[in-house]
Amino acid sequence: MNPIIRHITFDCTGEPYELAQFWSALLGRPVSDEDKPGDPEALIEDPDGGPGLLFVRVEEGKTAKNRVHFDLQPTGRNRAQEVERALELGARQLADRTLPDGRGWVVMADPEGNEFCVERGELG
């Protein structure tokens, strides 16, 4: 009888639908058919039944480093290819913490400044 995580919520000062489009493209998950541009919130659904990603418009901007973030592991691409793809979608690279032996990660930010990391994937 424990609760389940229904949504992971992102505050944003811009358009929730646009931020949802970024994450939808990055993760390959659909934006809910109920959400439209200009709505105060937008949801990315998990077709496998996991938690959705909910983007909600707020007044106050981001002021500090995220306390929780995603660590993404590329599939079908290596880390460098995934970082390049994220940049093309509108992300920014904040730091490269890749070690000489290939371990480590690259710190990125989405268009609203929410941090996420890209780790080494199955192809390196």
Q: Give me the pLDDT at residue 63, please.
A: 81
Burial class (CB in 10 A: 0-12, 13-18, 19+), 7: middle
Q: What is the pLDDT of residue 42?
A: 98
Average pLDDT over residues 55-76: 89
Burial of 93 (0-12, 13-18, 19+ CB in 10 A): middle
pTM of the model: 0.91
Beta strands 105-109; 70-72: pairing state? unpaired
73 has a pLDDT exceeding 90: yes
